Structure 1
Amino acid sequence: MSGVSKGSESVKGPFRRLQRSAVESVETPVQWSPVSISWEQSLVEAATAIYGGRVDVASQILRRMSAMPNPMSNSKQKLMGYMLSALESRVSPVDYPPPVAELFTEEHVLSVQSLYDMSPCFRVGFMAANRAILEALSEQPSTNKLHVIDFDIGREKQYHNLLAALSISQAGNQSTLKITTLADSINGEERLRMIGDRLSELTAKEGVRLVFNIVRQKLSELSRDSLGCEPDEVLAVNLAFKLYRMPDKSVSAENPRYDLLRRVKGLGPRVVTLLEQEMNGNTAPFPMRMEEALVYYGALLESIEYSQGDQWERARAEEGLSRKLGNLVACEGGDRVERCEVFGKWRDRMGMAGFELKPQVRHVAESLEEALRCCRPNSGFRTMKEENGGFCFGWRGRTLIVASAWR
Structure 2
Amino acid sequence: MWKFRTTSHSSSLPLWHMTLSFTVLSLDFYSLIITEQSRRPLWSMERSAWPKNLSSIRKRTIQDLLHGQNPTKKLADLFDAHSQTSNDTGQPLFAGHMVVNVLGSFSNTLSLSSSDQSDEVLQVQSNACVRSEVSEGSESINTPLPRKTSNTRTRLDQNLIDGGHQRRSSDQKSILDCQLPVWPRQPLMEAAAAISEDRADVAWQILTCLSAMPLYHVSSYSEQRLIEFMLSALKSRVSPVNNPPPVVELFTEDHLLSAQSLYDLSPCFKLGFLAANISILKAASEQPSSEKLHVIDFGISCEEQYRGLLYELSKRQACNQSILKITTLADGFNGEERLRMVGDRLSELAAWMGVGLVFNVVSQKLSELSRDLLDCEAGEVLVVNLAFKLYRMPDESVCLENPRDELLWCLKGLAPRVVTLVEQEMNGNTAPFKVRVGEAMAYYGTLLQSIQFGYGMVESGVEEWVSRKLRNMVACEGRERVERCEVFGKWRARMEMAGFELKPLGQHVAQSFKARLATSNPGFTVKEENGGVCFGWRGRTLTVASAWR
What TM-score results when the alignment is normalised by the length of structure 1? 0.89
Q: Which deviations, in whole Å up to 9, do the C-alpha atoms of 1:210-247 show, x marking residues without a partner?
A: 00000100111101110000011100100000000000
Q: Secondary structure at the match of 1:26?
A: coil
Q: Name the aligned partner's letter for residue 48 of structure 1.
A: A
The Cα shift of 1:31 comes to 7.6
Where do residues 274-313 of structure 1 align in structure 2 (5 Å cutoff)?
A: 274-308=421-455
> What are the superposed Cα offsets for residues 53-105 of structure 1, whole Å, 9 maximum, x if unpaired?
11111111101101111379710000000000000000000000000111011
Tell me if structure 1 keeps the 8 A contact 2:328–2:362. Answer: yes
Preserved contact between residue 301 and residue 387 of structure 2 (Cα < 8 Å): yes
Give me the whole-angstrom Cα distance separating, in 1, the residues matched to 2:496 and 2:417.
Answer: 16
Match of 2:291 among 121, 136, 144: 144
Q: Do structure 1's residue 379 and structure 2's residue 522 form an aligned pair?
A: yes
| Partner residue, 2:323 | 176
Q: In the alignment, what sits opposite 1:233?
A: 380
SS at match of 1:386: strand
- 1:58 counterpart = 2:58: no
For residues 249 and 366 of structure 2, the distance between their equivalents in structure 1, rounded to whole angstroms, comes to 23
Q: Give per-residue Cα distances to partners, 1:165-201, cap 9 Å, x unaligned.
A: 0111112221100000011121111111111111111
Mapped to 1, the partners of 2:343 and 2:326 lie a distance apart of: 9
Contact between 1:281 and 1:293, CA under 8 Å: does it hold in 2? yes
Query: Which amino acid in 2 is paired with 1:304?
Result: I
Q: Equivalent residue for 2:363? A: 216
Q: Residues of 1 paired with 2:238 and 2:392: CA distance?
A: 24
Letter in 2 for 1:26: S
Q: Give the structure 2 partner of residue 29 of structure 1.
A: 175
Q: Does 1:105 align with 2:105?
A: no
**Taking structure 2 as the reference length, what is the TM-score of the superposition?**
0.67
CA distance in 2, matches of 1:70, 1:228: 56
1:406 and 2:527 aligned: no
For residues 300 and 165 of structure 1, the distance between their equivalents in structure 2, rounded to whole angstroms, comes to 29
Shift of 1:362: 5.0
- Distance change (3 Å), C-alpha of 1:369 and 1:30: closer
Q: Could you tell which deviates more after superposition, 83-92 or 200-209? A: 200-209
| Matched residue, 1:78 | 225
Q: Which letter does structure 2 place at the counterpart of 1:79?
A: L
Change in Cα spacing, 1:169 to 1:363, as seen in structure 2 (3 Å) is: farther
Could you say which structure has the greater relative contact order, defined with CA pairs below 8 angstroms and 6 or more residues apart?
1
* Matches of 1:308 and 1:167, distance apart in 2: 32
Query: Quick one: distance in 2 between partners of 1:49 and 1:343?
Result: 30
Q: Which moved more, 1:362-371 or 1:128-137?
A: 362-371
Secondary structure in structure 2 of the residue aligned to 1:306: helix
Alpha-carbon distance, 1:306 to partner: 1.9
Q: Which amino acid aligns with 1:385?
A: K
Q: Is the 8 A contact 2:175 2:453 kept in 1?
A: no
Change (3 A) 1:31 1:286: farther
Distance in 2, Cα, partners of 1:405 & 1:272: 6
Task: Compute the displacement of 1:363 (Å).
Answer: 4.5
Pairing partner for 2:212 from 47, 67, 70: 67
Q: 2:401 aligns with which of 237, 254, 265?
A: 254
Residue 245 to residue 396, structure 1, CA distance change in 2 (3 Å) = same
**Stretches of structure 2 lacking an aligned partner (at least 5 in a row):** 1-167
Structure 1 pair 37–31 and aligned structure 2 pair: CA distance change class (3 A): farther
Matched, 1:163 2:310: yes
Identity %: 66
Q: Does 1:49 align with 2:194?
A: yes
Contact 1:48/1:287, CA 8 A, preserved across alignment: yes
Q: Once the two structures are superposed, what CA deviation does each residue of 1:344-372 show, in whole Å capped at 9, x if it has no partner?
A: 00000001111010132454344333444
> Once structures 1 and 2 are overlaid, which stretch shifts more, 255-264 or 63-72?
63-72
What are the ranges of 5 or more consecutive residues in structure 1 without an aligned counterpart? 1-23
Match of residue 388, structure 1, among 513, 530, 540: 530
Q: Which position in structure 2 is the counterpart of 1:329? A: 474
CA contact 1:124–1:372 (8 Å) conserved in 2: no
Q: Which amino acid aligns with 2:187?
A: S
Q: 2:300 aligns to what?
A: 153
- Take 1:161 and 1:173, find their aligned partners in 2: how far apart are those partners? 20
Q: What do the CA deviations read for 1:243-299 (whole angstroms, capped 9, x no partner)? A: 000000000110000000110111000000000000000000001111111110110
Quick one: distance in 2 between partners of 1:248 and 1:37?
34
Distance 2:273 2:283 in 1: 16
Q: How many equivalent residue pairs?
A: 378
- Structure 2 Cα separation of the partners of residues 269 and 65 of structure 1: 52
Quick one: which amino acid aligns to residue 480 of structure 2? D
Please state how far the C-alpha of 1:318 moved relative to its aligned partner.
1.2
2:270 to 102, 119, 123: 123
**Alpha-carbon distance, 1:30 to partner:** 5.7
* CA distance 1:389–1:165, change in 2 (3 Å): same
